[in-house]
Amino acid sequence: MSDQAVINKRLTGLDEILDKSAQLMAHLGYHGTSMRGLAQVTGRSLSGLYHYFSNKEELLFLINQRGFTSLLAMSGDLLQRDLTPQERLSGLIHNHVTYFIDHLSEMRIMTSGTMEMNEQRSQTLWKLKQEYTRLAQNIVGDYMDSQSGTNHSAQSINRKTYLLYGMMNWIFGWYSAKNHGTAKDIAKDIFHTFTKGCCGTE
Amino acid sequence: MSDQAVINKRLTGLDEILDKSAQLMAHLGYHGTSMRGLAQVTGRSLSGLYHYFSNKEELLFLINQRGFTSLLAMSGDLLQRDLTPQERLSGLIHNHVTYFIDHLSEMRIMTSGTMEMNEQRSQTLWKLKQEYTRLAQNIVGDYMDSQSGTNHSAQSINRKTYLLYGMMNWIFGWYSAKNHGTAKDIAKDIFHTFTKGCCGTE
DNA sequence: AAATTATCCGAACGACCGTTCGTTAATTTA
DNA sequence: TAAATTAACGAACGGTCGTTCGGATAATTT
């Protein structure tokens, strides 16, 4: 693939379909999006779509799988690298927020709850989500323990991790690039609020 | 209505329909929920439903309107009452989280983003949401100013308010009464995290 | 007891749904 | 170039969708 194609995000084949489908589905919801609508926005015929996936449910699965895999690829090595707990937490938040803002539609679908699905598919996604959650819980737990010297309970760490998830994943409810700055700005704000509170000092 | 009816939540008519519809819609999504499914879960015939609302879209509107009106009724007087900024913030969080956990299905629908709707209806909901958001922004802003002595920018206050929203509204993604305690516990945790950070001291 | 109103229903309508089928065009491989 | 594989298509299928309509039953008022 040429560099030009990469730069312009002129994706082809399945990747292009997943991207454009995610945009429409983020707007209309999974059930509200018809195969005919997907055919239109992808510039293909209705039946032509079925060359790339076997049915609508698999399309939803592929969007989710691609997204969670990418998220994990960004942050999966944070625990291995030689970083302080604070740098790890900051890195996790930065990676997540950056990916979120660069893939708003996709993330909207990924965070819109569990959809009824083929057993094997939902298990695959469940494992990906769990792997990512465990990573976050480890990073949050290490940070909290390193800050206070004592060990926090698993339940406490999990709850705090969910609160962090909330701050990050609620972005789609309000974010607009024009009014709220770059991903880096948001990530800084979330890191600061999560570690020091809404008006904590540096 | 008898006390017994109130205690048992044995609602009748429209209220019962809105409750049971919200439960099904929270599970399947708006478009994924059929009028026939709603008829079944409400114990009515398909055509009998149309006695209570004129179409499916109005049902969605009524669920949202009832929810946001209730939310506002809980916290609308926090600014008038003689409270400290801290008590106001704590009260807002407690009210929101309590209502959220007591009406998980309804809140799931209310927070699932803007749905295409009749102009007047969407404007009515938009005003309710804005009124509630403004209340939260005022409470958060007053608290922040009172803590640091200085005045924070509107943009900074708004961003922090959205982060607080995120922590509260993400509850449906993980909360279960068995594992995560009462609404009061969650509210305390959110208040503490938002004001002091994830391992801030009292 | 009659009249009026509020609830509720079965049956049907046209529109749209996801999916399949047989076939053709384009591209790659031999 | 010929064969094989990939990509794309129009047309059609059975089913489900939201909604409507005329009429039945129950509740309330007169």
**A38 and A112 assigned to the same domain:** no
pLDDT at A3: 29
In a shared domain, residues B84 and B173: yes
Q: How far apart are the first and last CA of chain A?
A: 46
Q: Same structural domain for residues B96 and B69?
A: yes
Domain that holds residue B100: 55-196
In a domain, B108, yes or no: yes
- Mean per-residue pLDDT, B147-175: 95
Residue B11 banded pLDDT, cuts 50, 70, 90: low
Considering chain A, what percentage of its residues have pLDDT values greater than 90? 86
Q: Of A6, A15, A106, A103, whose CA–CA distance to A52 is shortest?
A: A15
pLDDT interval class at A114 (50, 70, 90): confident
Per-residue pLDDT tens over the stretch A14-43: 999 999 999 999 999 999 999 999 999 999
Same-domain check for residues B77 and B37: no
Is A7 part of the contact surface with chain B (CB cutoff 8 Å)?
no
For range A194-202, the mean pLDDT = 87
Query: With 60 as the cut, is the pLDDT of residue B6 above it?
Result: no
Looking at the structure, tell me whether residues B120 and B36 fall in a common domain: no
More confident residue, B3 or A110: A110
Asked whether the predicted pLDDT for residue B85 surpasses 80, the reply is yes
Q: Is residue A202 part of a domain?
A: no
Distance, in angstroms, between B31 CA and closest chain A CA?
Answer: 5
Q: Which A positions 87-146 lie with beta carbon below 8 A of chain B?
A: 108, 111-113, 140, 143-144
| pLDDT, chain B, mean | 92
Q: How many structural domains is chain B composed of?
A: 2
Could you give phi then psi for residue A42, rounded to 5 degrees? -95, 0
Residue A102 sits in the same domain as residue A145: yes
The model's pLDDT over B18-28, given as tens digits with 9 standing for 90+, comes to 999 999 999 99
The answer to whether A195 contacts chain B (CB < 8 Å) is yes
Q: In this predicted structure, what is the pLDDT of residue A202?
A: 57
Q: Which nucleotides in chain C lie closer than 7 A to a protein CB?
A: 7-12, 16-22
- What pLDDT does residue A166 have? 98
Is A201 part of any domain? no
Q: What is the pLDDT of residues A123-159, one digit of tens each?
A: 999 999 999 999 999 999 999 999 988 999 999 999 9
Residue A44, chain B, CB below 8 Å: the answer is no
Question: B62-72: per-residue pLDDT in tens?
Answer: 999 999 999 99
Position B28 in a domain = yes
In a domain, A28, yes or no: yes
To the nearest whole Å, the CA of A115 is away from the closest chain B CA by 8
Of all residues in chain A, the percent with pLDDT exceeding 70 is 94
What nucleotides of chain D have any atom within 7 angstroms of a protein Cβ? 7-12, 16-22
B104 and B67 in one domain? yes
- What pLDDT sits at residue A12? 77
- Cβ separation A160–B193 shorter than 8 A: yes
User: For B112-135, what is each residue's pLDDT tens digit?
Assistant: 987 889 999 999 999 999 999 999
| Contact (Cβ atoms closer than 8 angstroms) between residue A89 and residue B198 | no
Write the single-letter amino acid at A135: L
Q: B43 and B75: one domain?
A: no
- Judged by a CB distance cut-off of 8 A, whether residue B13 touches chain A is no
pLDDT above 90 (res A116): no
Residues B140 and B45 in one domain: no
Q: pLDDT at position A10, please? A: 57
Residue B10 — pLDDT band, cuts 50, 70, 90?
low
Q: What sign results for the dihedral spanned by CA atoms A35, A37, A39, A45?
A: positive
Q: Is the CB of B13 under 7 A from strand C?
A: yes
Which CATH number covers residue B168?
1.10.357.10
| B61 & B34 share domain | no
- B173, B180, B194 member nearest A159 (Cβ): B180
Our measurement of CA A184 to C1' C30, in angstroms, reads 53
